[in-house]
Amino acid sequence: MKKNPNINKYNKGLLSIKKLKPDADCFWMPNAKYNYLKMTKKRKKHLDTQVKRYGFNECETWELDTTACVWLYSHIKMMLDIGGKIVDYEWEWWDDEFRKKLQAVGVDTEKYHNDKMVFDYICELLEEAEVCDNYESELNVYTDAELQKWIEMGTKAMDLRAKAFMVFAVIMPRAGW
């Protein structure tokens, strides 16, 4: 598989992406324990067959929520970077009906008042979710309080991801150039 030298360019905001090994066979899932299994010819052939059949291999389904977040984050960043040279995402065109849809999913339309700001907001939600998801105790044994904090951080991460996708569902018709 040919390596893309710019693979991290649009992913650099997500913490897990910073941990990528460029030669890892399952590059979307840097935290999965299976990533760094020794690549055998048989395993490579199996994964290559999956890529030919589905366009990706099984590694991307081990933690589908993370895969979806990385995909959304990187594609929004790239769209704003490349498409932003063609389309003015900062143009304020929204009508009242569209504002109401954004407000219904929790977007402060006074603070975020154009497409670019909302796309950036989605990326901020995903970055914050990644920070919560990577919460770790420095101790090997969790106390009850630490375990409770770990559960709270995991729940917060899932809530942030869900909100990012709900906001994207509203702004999605504007995602293009």
Residues 133-158, mean pLDDT to the nearest whole number: 76
- Give the 3-state secondary structure percentages of the chain, helix then strand then coil, rounded to 5: 55, 0, 45
Same domain (yes/no): 160, 91: yes
Structural domain containing residue 30:
15-61
Question: Quick one: pLDDT band at residue 143, thresholds 50, 70, 90?
Answer: confident
Q: What was the pLDDT predicted at 26? A: 44
Overall domain count for the chain: 2
- Tokens 């603070």 -> residue: 111
**Which is more confidently placed, 129 or 3?**
129
Q: Cβ distance 106 to 83 under 8 Å? A: no
How far apart (Å, rounded) are the C-alpha atoms in residues 60 and 82?
25
**Which is more confidently placed, 63 or 38?**
63
Q: What was the pLDDT predicted at 35? A: 47
The answer to whether residue 127 sits within a structural domain is yes
Same domain (yes/no): 125, 149: yes
How far apart (Å, rounded) are the C-alpha atoms in residues 11 and 161?
16
Same domain (yes/no): 97, 165: yes
